[in-house]
Chain A
Amino acid sequence: MIATESLSKRFPRVTALDRLSVDVGPGVTGLVGANGAGKSTLIKILLGLSPATEGRAEVLGLDVATKGGAIRERVGYMPEHDCLPPDVSATEFVVHMARMSGLPPTAARERTADTLRHVGLYEERYRPIGGYSTGMKQRVKLAQALVHDPQLVFLDEPTNGLDPVGRDEMLGLIRRIHTDFGISVLVTSHLLGELERTCDHVVIIDGGKLLRSSSTTAFTQTTTTLAIEVTDTDDHPDGTRAVRDALHARGVDVLDGSGGLPGAGHILLLTAQGDETYDLVRDVVADLGLGLVRMEQRRHHISEVFTDSEQGSEQSTDAQRKEAVGHGG
């Protein structure tokens, strides 16, 4: 889908991309990086809108330097920022954008109705966009990127500004873009945690350099931390401690979850090795007769991956995990 070869972009004072070579196949690919890591610059180059200083890039087998127009006809783009005029309805706006992608008028209207339904906009699509919630606006932005049935979409921070529920819905929708619609996705975010649940493949860039590119399964194996919270009972006035001891007896080390945060003392953190860890926790809690309040994967902050890769993954110390607690959840 996308291939870059020592792609560089230098501005007078900053180097936005530094000899980036990456291959992206079909499916959902996450592009992760801190703000200013070069994500948006990369998308700009891939759309053929900004020439690279050095190196080359291909999208759908077309060279970005010479075939920009052809690429943009087959690719959708959802920007990070607001881009919707408030005084027109979603239908009108998306029809217009469909025609701007070259769809004939009738097809543009049909595709608009279909696409808005797929992203979850129904009756409200006839009202002016100005009155929409952030979640609805994000859906309109997504719809305009999909309306011409592209082969590939670039989604720039699609979960920005959404509440946790809206975030999950958006991530589900992104997953469906590939599984149901058959469109490949390149989605950027600065949160690795939300991408590893959605993407098949994650590319991490920092300071314009490729830090890591691997499938998500490889990622989660090394980084999944499980958070557990249990109730107290009369038999076990300190349920947390009881579970900790029981797990310890079974040979599973519980990490120090205090982290100095209020309430964090009740949360146990442990490294999940796979499905057996989940089963073990369930059995232990059930044996003790406690109630399991939560068992969830901690969202990892991107900085954790950076420190990991800088220091070598074998030395992931407690100090870093503490930091993860601070950022997580």
Chain B
Amino acid sequence: MAVEYPTATQSGDQTRIHNIGYRSYDGPRLGRSYATRSLYSQSLRGAYGLGRSVKSKVLPMLLFVVMCVPAAIMVAVAVATKAKDLPVDYTRYAIIMQAVISLYVASQAPQSVSRDLRFKTVPLYFSRPIETADYVRAKFAALASALFILTAAPLLVLYVGALLAKLDFADQTKGFAQGLVSVALLSLLFAGLGLVIASVTPRRGFGIAAVIAVLTISYGAVSTLQAIADAQSLGDGGGSSGAIAWIGLFSPVTLIDGVQSAFLGASSAFPGGVGPSSGEGALYVLVTLGLIAASYGLLMRRYRKVGL
């Protein structure tokens, strides 16, 4: 070339423009399980709006705060009044806050799966090493973990507060552990139901409405029926307390309530305060685990058809 360009040859000037060109990648490819874990962590972060727009952080963060504030207040009261026990059992807390948890599931389950369906990102996932089962597992685990964080955090606040208030250590630890088992079960159950409902529709609005309907309305209906059964049983001398337990099988919240009052030493929130007997309790556990397994199975079926 005859023309010479005055390139960056001035002394002291380190600035140069390099045209690197295309560089190929020879590094490691970590494969399917790593990809599944990546999808899990991305979905878990997404469930709290991390890595997404500011707007999508608002609701999950707000709900998280709403979950924790009552616990903090209870702890403050317990410490200030030098109470001998916390005002609320560990196992009871999630049942009281069920509306907030349902709202969280309703907002985040569609966010997790309906978005992928609506914007057709699913085919991109399946054009990569992961399989249907990996996708379902990652999404299920991510939402269940997000729910566990949401429900276990206030329990942790209560526990730490109880220790600060110098309540009995063994007692509190046992209660805390029972509470954790209960919310773990609740997280799995709610995540499963929420995802199954949300995966049916690519429309987020429908998903939100359907999840709220299933979780909250079923709880309302079951509680009402239980209250009626309770009133009638009082009328004829406690004959139909069995009916209360049977009705409780039909909503996710009362299901968890039944399991924990039968096996985790919780006081039941059922009308009359009578939880299911241990025989009925076994049925509660079976139904709960069955529902979790069924959700997983349905999700697998749902996504087997979603190819490219």
Contacts and interface: CB of A to CB of B under 8 A. Distances in A.
Contact of A114 (B23, B120, B124): B23
Contact of A102 (B31, B42, B115): B31
Contact of A96 (B38, B120, B123): B38
A107 interface: yes
Nearest to B46: A88
The interface residues of chain B, by DSSP majority, are classed as loop
A86 B30 contact: no
Contacts of A75: 127
Contact of B25 (A88, A107, A180): A107
B307 A79 contact: no
A27 B143 CA distance: 44
B30 A128 contact: no
Contacts, number: 107
B53 A100 contact: no
Given A69-B129, A103-B29, A149-B24, A96 B307 contact: no
A44 B308 contact: yes
B interface bracket (residues with beta carbon within 8 Å of A): 35 or more
B29 A148 contact: yes
A99 interface: yes
A174 B170 CA distance: 68
Given A72-B129, A103-B25, A107-B27, A87 B53 contact: yes
Given A49-B126, A83-B121, A83-B123, A149 B308 contact: no
Given A84-B121, A102-B35, 12 more contacts: A49-B127, A81-B120, A83-B120, A87-B53, A97-B128, A101-B128, A102-B29, A102-B30, A114-B20, A149-B25, A181-B24, A182-B24
14 contacts: A72-B127, A73-B29, A79-B123, A79-B127, A88-B53, A99-B38, A100-B35, A100-B128, A102-B35, A103-B25, A103-B27, A104-B28, A114-B23, A148-B29
Interface of A: 40, 43-44, 47, 49-50, 69, 72-73, 75, 77, 79, 81-88, 92, 96-97, 99-104, 107, 111, 114, 118, 128, 144, 148-149, 180-182
